[in-house]
């Protein structure tokens, strides 16, 4: 295939350092980095290229790195969870794990001198963090109840794994996809409730029948960024499950070879689609695929409200159940991780799953073990029946660890909900998403109430504040919420939320 490369002179600075040395090259240098220490490392290697192996320098906590894993469909085993717990346990109070909005986990506190040994240990439990940051394809999301949901249309687990294996060369790292113009998100949905927020991905597959055959309609170009937020648009293509991996390959190659590389703020897939027009983009995908795409099926099968999977549910396998635990803002400490691994082994078959709402599911619990499982002390903190206000709370990392953050998020989100929960009673959950800056990692645009960090001026002082988003709908007829009020100082937020909850979500004051 011919590529239309951006002239070198107009490449942005990230493109220049990628052209000098591929990000994956740092894989061979980890022992060296461990010996010299983070302070002596080349800055571009330390601050940027290490992200190609999932190691993130944190300017907020210099010397304590974050490690972002890959976790196709959010599935992991008890051995893997225990290994992750052992890794963060070493860092004491500085170590913890955060479940992410892409069904993944990030570990905190990691030191560069430990990275080679950590990688050896991860290999033993068949886990990888490769290509999880920067201009790579992020964790690929799929239904968190794939294979166990009685109502699913298609079990997407194997497809999600195959797509990851194609992109990362089975976790070894794959130079064919290590220099995309920008990050890239893929979701594959096999359920009726769009549990993966398909519409906010660069490339998404949603279930759709054509002439009675199961397949997927393809959506392209969804993105949230500080510059622009758009829901994905239909490519007018229907794909048989057997062709999903190849279609992913073709779309990624088109993006790699033709995507814009001069202005980093305009480099996501949707900008390329704008530039080419949807028709020409589709034609290019066909060219790279070396076969025509079929037009999309008339309708997709996303016709349910989105489920959050918290609680106890019977599986499609008779006599087995899955239990969804609410993990407040996704934060796990080492002991929590050991406890979850033990529970998954004692009551289930050792498996666990993460959701995009930053919660955990333990599947495969026989009826006979259910009562004992539900009596576990961990469920006092990770409830199966949380207060409706806390139930759907999501938060990005915020200023505790993220240097893009304009505000602190996770602790503030929890404290606000606790105070409001003490004053108000609700019958239905309200989806409240916090995000620390306009990058929108906490997806405020898919929430009933979205709160995006900003700086505000009040009485001559600069304070932490939020812009208020409302109207995000998930599941069937998903659409993005919009900003309805700007610059609310965080110290004045509680009464604003209180009024909203009473007036628009039916909350009643507790007596």
Residues recognised as catalytic: 68, 182-183, 436, 441-442
User: Is residue 168 classed as helix, strand or coil in its secondary structure?
Assistant: helix
Which residue among 147, 260, 436, 472 contacts ligand SF4 (CB under 6 A)?
436
Long-range (24+ apart) CB contacts under 8 A made by 407-410 are 407/436, 407/437, 407/453, 407/454, 407/464, 407/465, 407/466, 407/490, 408/436, 408/464, 409/434, 409/435, 409/436, 409/442, 409/453, 410/329, 410/331, 410/434
Least distance (Å) between residue 187 CB and ligand SRM: 8
Task: Judge whether 209 and 301 are in contact, CB under 8 Å.
Answer: yes
Strands 449-458 and 432-435: parallel
Q: Which of 295, 50, 312, 27 is nearest to 172 (CA)?
A: 27
Q: Which of 77, 100, 131, 321 binds ligand SRM (CB under 6 A)?
A: 100
How many residues line the site for ligand SRM (CB under 6 A)? 32
Which one, 106 or 364, has the nearer CB to ligand SRM? 106
Taking CB under 6 A as the criterion, the residue among 78, 435, 445, 454 binding ligand SF4 is 435
Pick the closer one to ligand SF4 by CB: 173 or 450.
450
Distance from C-alpha of 444 to C-alpha of 161, rounded to nearest angstrom? 28
| Contacting ligand SRM within 358-397 (CB under 6 A) | 396-397
DSSP string, 259-305: S--S-GGG-SHHHHHHHH-HHHHHHHHHHHHTSPPBPPPS--S--SP
Residue 104 touches which of ligand SF4, ligand SRM, none (Cβ within 5-8 Å per kind)? ligand SRM
Q: Closest separation between CB of residue 434 and ligand SF4, Å?
A: 8
Q: Using CB under 6 A, pick the residue from 106, 174, 195, 399 that binds ligand SRM.
A: 106
Stretch that binds ligand SRM, among 287-295, 368-376, 435-443, 481-489 (CB under 6 A): 435-443
- Rounded to 10 deg, the angle between the 78-89 and 334-347 helix axes is 160
Question: How many CB atoms neighbour CB 317 within 10 A?
Answer: 13
| Residue 268 interacts with, from ligand SRM, ligand SF4, none (CB under 5-8 Å by kind) | ligand SRM
Q: Do the beta carbons of residue 310 and residue 324 sit within 8 Å?
A: yes
Indicate which single residue of 55, 75, 200, 340 sits in contact with ligand SRM (rule: CB under 6 A).
200
Q: Which is nearer to ligand SF4, 323 or 407 (CB)?
A: 407
- Which of 191, 66, 93 lies closest to 141, judged by CA? 191
- Token pair in block for residue 56: 């993130």
- Position among 147, 328, 350, 398 found at the interface with ligand SF4 (CB under 6 A): 398
Whole-number Å distance between alpha carbons of 323 and 325: 6
435 binds, among ligand SF4, ligand SRM, none (CB under 5 to 8 A by kind): ligand SF4
Q: Which residues bind ligand SRM (CB under 6 A)?
A: 56, 58, 66, 68, 98, 100-102, 104, 106, 133, 138-139, 182-183, 185, 200, 223-226, 268, 396-397, 401-404, 439-441, 443
Q: Which residues bind ligand SF4 (CB under 6 A)?
A: 396-398, 402, 404-405, 435-437, 439-442
């Amino acid at each position: 295939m011919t590529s239309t490369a951006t002239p070198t002179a107009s490449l942005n600075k990230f493109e220049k350092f990628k052209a000098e040395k591929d990000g994956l090259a740092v894989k061979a240098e980890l022992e060296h980095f461990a010996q010299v220490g983070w302070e002596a490392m080349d800055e571009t290697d330390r601050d940027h290229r290490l992200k190609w192996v999932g190691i993130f320098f944190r300017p907020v906590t210099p010397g304590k790195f974050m490690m972002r894993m890959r976790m196709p469909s959010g599935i992991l085993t008890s051995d893997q969870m225990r290994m992750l717990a052992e890794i963060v346990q070493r860092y004491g109070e500085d170590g913890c794990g955060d479940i992410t909005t892409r069904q993944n986990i990030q570990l905190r506190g990691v030191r560069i001198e430990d990275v080679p040994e950590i990688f050896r240990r991860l290999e033993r439990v068949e886990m990888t963090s490769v290509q999880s940051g920067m201009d790579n394809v992020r964790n690929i999301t799929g239904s968190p109840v794939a294979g166990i949901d009685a109502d699913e249309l298609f079990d997407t687990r194997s497809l999600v794994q195959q797509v990851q294996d194609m992109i990362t060369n089975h976790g070894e790292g794959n130079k064919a996809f290590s220099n995309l113009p920008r990050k890239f998100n893929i979701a594959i949905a096999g359920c009726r409730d769009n549990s993966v927020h398909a519409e906010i991905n660069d490339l998404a597959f949603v279930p759709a029948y054509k002439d009675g055959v199961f397949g997927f309609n393809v959506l392209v170009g969804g993105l949230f960024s500080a510059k622009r937020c758009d829901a994905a648009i239909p490519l007018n293509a229907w794909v048989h499950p057997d062709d999903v991996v190849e279609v992913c390959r073709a779309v990624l190659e088109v993006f790699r070879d033709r995507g814009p590389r001069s202005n980093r703020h305009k480099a996501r897939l949707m900008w390329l689609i704008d530039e080419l027009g949807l028709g020409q983009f589709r034609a290019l995908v066909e060219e790279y695929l070396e076969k025509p795409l079929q037009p999309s099926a008339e309708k997709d099968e996303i016709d349910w409200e989105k489920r959050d999977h918290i609680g106890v549910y019977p599986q499609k396998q008779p006599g087995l159940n899955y239990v969804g635990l609410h993990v407040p803002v996704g934060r796990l400490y080492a002991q929590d991780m050991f406890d979850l691994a033990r529970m998954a082994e004692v009551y289930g078959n050792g498996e666990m799953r993460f959701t995009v709402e930053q919660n955990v599911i333990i599947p495969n619990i026989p009826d006979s073990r259910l009562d004992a499982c539900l009596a576990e002390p961990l469920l006092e903190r990770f409830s199966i029946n949380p207060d409706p206000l806390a139930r759907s709370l999501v938060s990005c990392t915020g200023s505790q660890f993220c240097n893009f953050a304009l505000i602190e998020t996770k602790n503030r989100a929890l404290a606000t909900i606790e105070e409001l929960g003490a004053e108000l009673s609700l019958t239905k959950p309200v989806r409240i998403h916090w995000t620390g800056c306009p990058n929108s990692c906490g997806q405020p645009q898919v929430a009933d109430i979205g709160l995006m960090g900003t700086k505000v001026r009040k009485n001559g002082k600069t304070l932490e504040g939020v812009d208020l988003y409302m109207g995000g709908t998930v599941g069937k007829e998903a659409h993005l919420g919009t900003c309805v009020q700007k610059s609310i100082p965080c110290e004045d937020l509680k009464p604003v939320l209180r009024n909203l909850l009473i007036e628009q979500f039916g909350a009643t004051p507790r007596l």
